[in-house]
Amino acid sequence: MNADIQTIQDGDIASVPGVSASGVSCGLKTSGLDLGIIHSRVPANAAAVFTQNQIKGAHVPHCATKIAAGRAQTIVVNSRNANACNGPLGPEHAEAMAKAAADALTVDSSLVYPCSTGTIGIVLPIEKVCVGIVAASAALRSGGGTDFANAIMTTDTRPKSCAVTTQIDGKAITVGGVAKGAGMIEPNMATMLAYVATDADVASQDLEILLHDVVAESFNAISVDGDQSCNDTVMLLANGESGLALARDAQSDSSWAAFASAVKQVCVTLAKMIVLDGEGATKLAKIHVVDAASAVDARLAARAVANSLLVKTSWFGEDPNWGRVIDVVGYSGAELDASEIEIWYDDVCAYRGASGPVPDSVTALEAVIRQPEFTVKIRLGTGDAECSLLTCDISEEYVRINSEYTT
């Protein structure tokens, strides 16, 4: 964390000047908020990253087409229903959501981004949604960030918001964000949605490069490209209300870097919130694979460990069961040198391929795994590539939640 970046207590996306938000209930969920809007007083420059799943929810191609112009003003999101795999009705309903918000807010429809999250393959009750959009438009306010964060939740057990402020070139700028998603496990099919806004003035091309860099270190560090839900979407909006213009190449390195750090801090904070809302998760673990033959090998090994139920349940039991880790690495498909492999929990070496288990390490390993956060480092001994992933432990609660969240 950068010391020059201040966290805003109870901050959220609507902490950003010029940004308002709301959440209403339109009858998609049995109870609770299920439709939200984020709205910028003025049109903003924008960038987005979408799921790489081959099956895509209807809003994904809709929004991908719009974002090519690099502008956005309004984001409208429903939960409980993914509007995915619904045939020709899917695109029609995404279009209808955008039009309803554009009409209610007198915004150009090309600046409205509809998103959906929830169950796949159920036709969206579009009339209810449109009634909700009218209500949510009327409810927009600068204090509405928490309502929005609640409205987009599905299997989440808690809303996820944060905001920071920092001084750049003598001016204060704010970055705020909101996310939904839970269950860091393959498949992370709990759709991940994240929206980040700032009042800095940044061109959409620069936002796009920044967003890709930041997503790689935050949201994509808790999942893996191929493991995305049909609907995953991350958007970054810059409405310029601070009057501070920033550009990747025009400024001194420090100004742009300070801005990028603030955006990254918001995204990493949201990503950790998603991991720790892993439906009963109690521990955050970083899997760090080093000395791999290639980036692909490093990722194969890291992903296999991060997704291993037996490894994750052992953490829940506070058992430093490195044997399960090495077993997973062995079948991961990653090239390894059995005589060079090493397993570490934080700075405690558990196993060296040449000599076997490290004598008298058990007590130290147990101390590591009792912590709420720790790193599992795996050395493959076949090169110099590496990969990191954040993941969590797995509790009985996870299974209960996911077997009860039915269509």
Could you list the active site residues? 191
Q: Does 219 bind a second copy (CB under 8 A)?
A: no
Name the 3-class secondary structure at 314: helix
User: DSSP class of residue 15?
Assistant: G
Query: Closest approach of Cβ 327 to a second copy, in Å?
Result: 5
CA distance 331 to 303: 12
Name 351's bridge partners: 343, 357
Site string for a second copy, 338-377 (x = CB under 8 A): x--x--------xx--xxxx----x---------------
Q: Which of 327, 364, 367, 375 binds a second copy (CB under 8 A)?
A: 327
**Residue 125: Cβ-neighbour burial (10 angstroms; 0-12, 13-18, 19+):** middle
Q: Where are the beta strands (DSSP E) in 242-323?
A: 245-246, 284-292
- Minimum distance of a second copy from residue 81's CB (angstroms): 10
Question: Closer to a second copy at the Cβ: 72 or 326?
Answer: 326
DSSP run (H or E) holding 49: strand 35-50
> Would you say 66 or 324 has its CB closer to a second copy?
324
Q: Which of residues 170-199 bind a second copy (CB under 8 A)?
A: 183, 185-187, 189-190
Omega of the bond prior to 187 within 30 degrees of 0, cis?
A: yes
Pairing of β 171-180 and β 160-168: antiparallel
Beta strands in 218-274 (DSSP E): 233-238, 245-246
Pairwise CA distance, residues 391 & 307, whole Å: 8
Positive or negative, the CA dihedral 163, 167, 169, 173 is: positive
| Least distance (Å) between residue 311 CB and a second copy | 8
Residue 358 CB, nearest approach to a second copy (Å): 10
Q: Residue 351 CB, nearest distance to a second copy (Å)?
A: 6
Whose Cβ is closer to a second copy: residue 55's or residue 68's? 55
Judged by CB under 8 A, does residue 122 bind a second copy? yes
Figure out which of the listed residues 164, 230, 289, 390 binds a second copy, where binding follows CB under 8 A.
230
Contacts with a second copy in 52-81 (CB under 8 A)?
Answer: 52-56
In the range 234-293, which residues lie near a second copy by CB under 8 A?
A: none
What are the residues facing 202 on neighbouring strands? 246
H/E run at residue 373: strand 373-379
With 0-12 / 13-18 / 19 or more C-beta atoms within 10 angstroms meaning exposed / middle / buried, residue 375 is middle
218 vs 308, beta carbon nearer a second copy: 308
Q: Of 37 and 58, which CB lies nearer to a second copy in the complex structure?
A: 58
For position 391 contacting a second copy by CB under 8 A, the verdict is no
Nearest residue (CB) to a second copy, 143 versus 333: 333
Residue number, 101 or 285, with CB nearest to a second copy: 285
User: Does position 105 bind a second copy by CB under 8 A?
Assistant: no
Residue numbers 295-324 binding a second copy by CB under 8 A: 304, 307-310, 313-314, 316-317, 319-324
The whole-angstrom separation of Cα 405 and Cα 407 is 7
CB of 161 to a second copy, least distance (A): 25
Count of Cβ atoms closer than 10 Å to residue 68 Cβ: 10
Smallest distance from the beta carbon of 149 to a second copy, in angstroms? Answer: 23
Q: How far apart are the C-alpha atoms of 149 and 147, rounded to whole Å?
A: 5
Nearest in space to 397 (alpha carbons), one of 245, 239, 261, 279: 279
Binding string, residues 5-24; x marks residues near a second copy by CB under 8 A: --------------------
Among 195, 259, 374, 398, binds a second copy (CB under 8 A): 398
Size of the site for a second copy (CB under 8 A): 74
